[in-house]
A and B are shown apart, each in its own frame.
Chain A
Amino acid sequence: MEELRNRAKQLLEAKTVDVVIGYGETLNNKIKAVFIRKPEDAVKLVYDERCTQNLGVYLTKHEVKHFGKPAIVASVSTMRTVLQLCSEKQVKDDGVLVLGVTLEGKFLEFPTFKTVETFMEKGVQPIPAKDLELMAKIETMSLDERWAFWQEELQKCTKCYACRASCPMCYCNRCMVDYNQPQWISVPSTEIGNLEWHLMRAMHLAGRCVNCGECGRACPQEIPIHLLTFKASEEAQNQFGAVAGLSSTMPSTLSSWKPNDKENFIQ
């Protein structure tokens, strides 16, 4: 942690970056995101097992972008976020400095996104056992049971959009659900409205979800909503061999086309 604080201080002193996005403590010993802009504030940075939020969500936040060039304390999920955001032209290679934390908890600074890509070749963060278990259980369900499972879960959804807000890939200035002319998705929290919303979001995250699990963690109703995007991404991988967040230049899985694609309707 000292290492991180010292490095952050140096970076701010040398004006290599304008802000360090990292974790700090609240008055109640909880963890919150902090945005360090003064070298002397670098001591506020902490890193321990309580630091689970994917800070990548802040890279596209208006007020944070306004500070200038960020360095970001990045878990493996966040590193994947940065690469994916770059491939979607939301951040530039020299626009973000990645202060990585490996799965073993070691600090590693990445001067370029290429070096992050190389690091990713060692493997991505594992999906938590609890999620794997529930996914496996859902797989074994009959269609009717699966439908009932999701109906039961989704009727709890209030459409607070904490899942969307916490998702680093849901950075759209105007989300599909916010359109009213025409209106694509039924706005209120009703059976059909909730179903439309979550199917739409899962489709939008297919091939883009970096498996950070933030949406599920954010949900005040504890709906395992992240399983939908995990599954959609697994399908994207099976179908197209594309895994999100491994490359800063990968074309978008669902909205790009290759001459050797197995579907030929577009040719």
Chain B
Amino acid sequence: MIKLLKKSSFEIFFKNLQTQGKTIYAPKNNGKKIEFSKIDNFADIVFDYIKSNQSTKEIVFPRYHKVFRYTKQADDTVVLQDFSADSVPETVVIGQRPCDAVGILALKAIFETDIADKPFTARFNKTSFITISCTKSDENCFCTSSGLNPGSTEGSDILLTPIENGDYYAEILTEKGTKILEANASLFEDSPEIDKNKYLAKVEVRFDNKIIHEKLNTIFDHETWVEQSLQCIGCGACAYVCPACACFDILDEDNGRSGFRYKCWDSCGFGNFTIHTSGHNPREVQSQRWRQRIYHKFSYMPKREHVFGCVGCGRCTDVCPVNMNIMEHLQTINAL
């Protein structure tokens, strides 16, 4: 369904969502970076930005969260208190980018293949995504090489594209989106269908992720993995900012009588990610970890989960302390 949301109606829309009891996340300036934060005042939302430092993944997959608690009773029986979906508030994300939206679909594919991950599913189901198309991009963006574009609708419940006078061309895409529309019907005006392309950022196509996918079938032992990653120092910066990276660790914290089990972010780029109790480490050196990063995103995920694990946001390049540039590396692979 197509609608028009006037710039002048946005604040009322925001306040309506608040009154409707939604927790709202939107881009905010923390003094150094633009980050998605809980927003109480409409004025805090930053609309003029390219992309946030961290992606929106943290809203559905927090860097740290408890999965259950346990308490030993006086008679030594143990009482388990499972994660409850009730603890998750109804949430609306405003202003993420189309690539972020698809990143969340990649996480969904990971966390819901085979057995669904309860906390993820609860958060995903209770969150509505109002994405805003990109009118600007930066040198590290490569969504158009990843099968997407600055106005992609996948993964969004409502996609807003900024048009003349700061008004928004609104595409209502899912049931969640329709519910939001219905609850705020008076703010969304009728609109004819338009060609939104002229409003979107132009992002040059550098490679084709489907070709990378094919190539990976034959280049597992290629020397390029070592050459590309000699400079990589094996931190977690790229994985943590990536909207589609889902590695996590599971640990317990307890005092002998009661405690909890939690999940926290981890990265396949860390040297000890794959270390066995025996001390053997099947991914002994960084080139093997770098190769894993690319294979997981461009080979294994499309094969198993039917989605790519990279949406082309370029965040990993933005933050890499040693200037690893994933787009350059993928171009190199594309040309092999």
Contact = CB atoms under 8 A, between A and B. Distances in A.
* A and B physically associate: yes
Interface of A: 26-28, 30-35, 53, 57-58, 61-64, 156, 158-162, 164-166, 173-174, 178, 180, 186-190, 193, 214, 217-218, 220-222
Interface of B: 30, 32-33, 53-54, 63-64, 139, 226, 230-231, 233-237, 239-241, 249, 251, 253, 262, 264-265, 267, 270-272, 284-287, 318-319, 321-325, 328, 331
A165 B272 contact: no
10 contacts: A35-B230, A58-B231, A61-B233, A63-B226, A166-B235, A189-B265, A190-B64, A218-B235, A220-B318, A222-B33
A63 B270 contact: no
Contact of A32 (B231, B235, B236): B231
Label chain B's interface by main secondary structure: loop
Nearest to A57: B233
A93 to B, nearest CB: 25
Find the residue from B53, B230, B286 having the highest chain A CB count within 10 A.
Answer: B230
Contacts of A162: 233, 235-237, 319, 321
Given A28-B328, A63-B286, A161-B270, A188 B262 contact: yes
Contact of B328 (A27, A53, A62): A27
Nearest to A222: B32
A164 B284 CA distance: 19
Contact of A220 (B234, B319, B331): B319
A188 B286 CA distance: 23
Contacts of B321: 53, 162, 165-166, 214, 217-218
Find the residue from B64, B237, B240 having the highest chain A CB count within 10 A.
Answer: B237
**10 interchain residue pairs of minimum CB distance:** A218-B321, A165-B235, A188-B264, A220-B319, A188-B64, A162-B235, A160-B236, A162-B237, A165-B233, A33-B231
Contacts of B54: 158
A64 B230 contact: yes
B229 to A, nearest CB: 8
B67 to A, nearest CB: 12
A214 B284 CA distance: 25
Contacts of A193: 64
Contacts of B233: 57, 61, 162, 165-166
A192 to B, nearest CB: 10
Nearest to B239: A160
A93 B180 CA distance: 68
Nearest to B328: A27
A53 B111 CA distance: 37
A32 B64 contact: no
Contacts of A62: 284-286
Given A30-B323, A160-B236, A166-B322, A63 B253 contact: no
Nearest to A30: B323
B279 to A, nearest CB: 10
A33 B322 contact: yes
Nearest to B253: A186
Contacts of B234: 165
Contacts of A190: 64
Nearest to B324: A32
Contact of A180 (B241, B251, B319): B251
Given A220-B319, A222-B32, 20 more contacts: A30-B325, A32-B231, A53-B322, A62-B284, A63-B285, A156-B30, A158-B63, A158-B265, A160-B236, A162-B236, A165-B234, A165-B235, A180-B251, A187-B249, A188-B251, A188-B262, A190-B64, A218-B235, A220-B240, A221-B53
A32 B256 CA distance: 49
Find the residue from A61, A160, A165, A193 having the highest chain B CB count within 10 A.
Answer: A160
B331 to A, nearest CB: 8
